[in-house]
Amino acid sequence: MAERFLRPESSKRFGRRHTPDDRFAARTPAETALLQSAPAPDWVEPMLATLTDRRFSDPAWIFERKFDGIRCLSFRHGSVVRLLSRNRERLDTTYPEIADEVAAQAGNDFVIDGEVVAYEGSRTSFELLQQRSGITDARRARSSPVRVRYYVFDIVYLDGHDTRFVPLRARKQLLRSAITFRGPLKFTTHRNGEGERFFEQACTWGWEGLVAKRADSTYASRRSPDWLKFKCAHGQEFVVGGFTEPRGSRIGFGALLVGYYDDDGSLRYAGKVGTGFNDAVLRQLSETMDKLQVKTSPFARDRGFERGTHFVRPELVVQVGFAEWTREGLLRQPRFQGVRQDKSAREVKKERPLESGRR
């Protein structure tokens, strides 16, 4: 379905301007002037953060917790609710308790952006969330012992108005006034200015990291340097291009061969991932990869793969944590964390931090 929203970086505006209702009464005249009349959207391309290796403090920026979960945009149009992942997969029946709470909100039309997470103790766990990600039956999802929460951090549409041109700090104020946060719906709080101190605390607490956001930024439907990722540990998505035979008492397979797409469109080999699996995951992934097997390697270069290596069509995306990149461009101490069903293989590229000193 075609996107009915223009991108924020476009200079073209929507139709005529509405007179704001009470929901917008707290906005300044300048912020009100940035509200654009628009129909309820079918889809909004999410704004994505850029990785950086520079930590900083700046009063012009806000700092939010980086969650280890699934990105989710919630669309409410009258009585119709849709939860969509980054690749537009429907999540309503996977997380029905969230859909219920979105449906129960006052007002009619809105689009909010956030992250669905599952907690293991005091920490969010992508591995635990995997137990819910594959469920598409609402009754099964409701009976799952894995409880989820939806941390909402932005609002991009509200009652006939596109809010993406409004500065971020004002959007967050609008979000808090427009949505009642209860049950699994949680407001994503932030700190002003103190990025370095907050980052140190986040890593001590076992968080994945922070997202630094320019406080006056618009919501741009692309990856933007106005949102920056501070990561406490290394980790990203990779594409599975093959697997090795199991050894000893191991079932299913030995290790995954993973890679990422380079700027020239070729699949670059990044290494083998052999830890982080339980027997159930080994069986499930083995069954999936058996259906994807091909005779030739999908990787750009022949790395001299061991005898008995099996290759697959590069369609399966997995999340991998690792210690660092080696000089040879391979992963050191990689560990499987889960399957990513919210991202397509062609989206997966090596995350390269912005150069130090730039932001």
Query: For 149-205, what is each residue's pLDDT tens digit?
Result: 999 999 999 999 999 999 999 999 999 999 999 999 999 999 999 999 999 999 989
Q: Indicate which residues carry an active-site annotation.
A: 66
The CATH number, out of the four listed (3.30.470.30, 3.90.1150.10, 3.30.465.10, 1.10.10.10), of the domain defined by the range 26-47+64-192: 3.30.470.30
In single-letter form, the type of residue at position 23 comes to: R
> In whole angstroms, what is the distance from residue 313 CA to residue 292 CA?
5
> In whole angstroms, what is the distance from residue 57 CA to residue 87 CA?
33
Secondary element (H or E) of residue 281: helix 279-290
Considering the chain, what percentage of its residues have pLDDT values greater than 90? 73
The full DSSP string for 72-141 is: EEEEEETTEEEEE-TT--B-TTTSHHHHHHHHTSSSS-EEEEEEEEEEETTEE-HHHHHHHHT---HHHH
**Rounded-to-10 torsion of CA 106, 108, 113, 115:** 50
16 pLDDT higher than 50: no
The predicted-structure confidence for 79-131, as pLDDT tens digits, reads as follows 999 999 999 999 999 999 999 999 999 877 999 999 999 998 888 889 899 99
The predicted-structure confidence for 223-237, as pLDDT tens digits, reads as follows 999 999 999 988 999
Domain residue limits, the chain: 26-47+64-192, 234-347
Q: What is the pLDDT of residue 36?
A: 82
Q: What is the pLDDT of residue 30?
A: 65
Average per-residue pLDDT for the chain: 89
Fold of the CATH domain 234-347:
OB fold (Dihydrolipoamide Acetyltransferase, E2P) (2.40.50)
Dihedral class, residue 305 (left if φ above 0, else alpha if ψ from -120 to 50, else beta): beta
- The DSSP symbol for 69 reads S
Q: What is the pLDDT of residue 133?
A: 86
